[in-house]
Amino acid sequence: MKGKDTEPGVLRPVAQLREALASGGGRAELERLYGPGETPAARQRFLALLERHASEFPGDRRAALFSVPGRTEIGGNHTDHNSGRVLAAAVDLDIIACACPGEEPVARIDSEGYEPQVVELDRLEARESERFQPAALVRGLASRLSELGWRIGGFQACLSSRVLKGSGLSSSAAYEVAIGTILNQLYNGGRIPAVELAKACRYAENQYYGKPCGLMDQTTCAVGGFVSIDFADIANPRVEKVELDFAATGMSLVIVDTGGHHADLTGDYAAIEREMKETARALGAQTLRGASRERLLAEAARLREKVGDRAILRSLHFFDDDRRAAAQAAALRRGEVAEFLRLVGESGASSWMLLQNCYPPEATRDQGIPLALAMSRELLGGQGACRVHGGGFAGTIQAFVPEGLLPAYLTKMRELFGADSCHPLRVRQAGATAVAIP
């Protein structure tokens, strides 16, 4: 469905938005998204974005501002692809956008640091030439929303991202949700439900971009806060937001980048899903969610010959981490932070010992993730928790650090992995949103 149905309150002349921000407007909105300490920097980011938009798309235009958070996986390491449960959280590193409706059915997107994208929206079929290109995500998302009966239309947008690439914070999902949020607000009055928008983003990535993916990343970026997701019905996962002011717990969430992104880890990632599903089939199920831990242990001798030892260990991790992800969400709902952290630590140990995704099998010299985990345990001294973050094998770990230990922790980890390796994050309650500047 094409055509305009713009929510009147969202759009304002670009010059008015700049004047309002420059004179101190929008303080409450910026504090809601970034916290009081980051409000001045956020204001400058949006002012710079508006300047860029005025330069790239000159004229007397009415535009809107948007923000979409990145996400961090909290619980359920490699459980989603076997219909398991996960816990994730939106973070304050985000993509911001300034967008205005277009008179033609063309999306013109200027993303800072990337080549501009021009995507014609009057023909929405998938194009082989666009596979693995950002244009495929835009076209696929517009196609899916139109199929579902939502309005689409052209727009001009400038984007700026602080979601770190290669950090496990889901920069691609945040981009997809940003484009979807622009279409939602400019043409549908913000009425598309967050989970439906996330599903449309997944469709675009799977069917147009050509990359298999689950729904955790897009859902968390769209919904915000802590999000518990159950993939028992993979087509319609159950999504629940977990209400908690994590800043009040006295813990800091830190992502540490240990390096090692140069290696091609696709085969290592694929082997985890393959081995888990081979084990599930040997137990008479399609995924491990349809099998049982008890039967895995009872039939371990037979399974050694059928699927091998590593597949058994990885499957045991699935059963335990699937349970832990649900228990972590329950602990947060009850405000039991100590229990939550205990479960995070258990998950980290399971990924290291059973899932075996802390370094590639051939890596005998460079083992950044195990080193970061070992040093984190030493520095934390039984407090907080740490775990591998995301897909693993290289890249990032996640640490929950008591505020009193944070300076010493950051100093040591930066000494080991570089000045730009540590990223203290804030759990952000707001998901994808228009940014209202009075």
pLDDT at 8: 45
Q: Which of 201, 197, 182, 222 is nearest to 7 (CA)?
A: 182
What pTM, to 2 d.p., does this model score? 0.90
pLDDT at 110: 96
User: Consecutive sets of 10 residues in the chain, 438 residues long: mean pLDDT of each?
Assistant: 55 95 95 91 97 93 96 94 96 96 96 91 93 94 98 97 70 92 97 95 92 84 96 90 91 93 76 96 98 98 98 99 98 97 98 96 91 98 95 93 98 97 94 95
Residue 335 to residues 73, 146, 220, 226, 322, Cα–Cα distance (Å): 19, 42, 20, 13, 20
Label the pairing between strands 106-111 and 117-120.
antiparallel
Six-digit token string for 323: 């349970």
pLDDT at 17: 96
Residue 258 contacts residue 396 (beta carbons within 8 Å): yes
Six-digit token string for 420: 């730009």
Residue 175 contacts residue 157 (beta carbons within 8 Å): no
Domains of the chain, earliest start first: 12-244+428-435 (3.30.230.10), 246-425 (3.30.70.890)
pLDDT at 1: 57
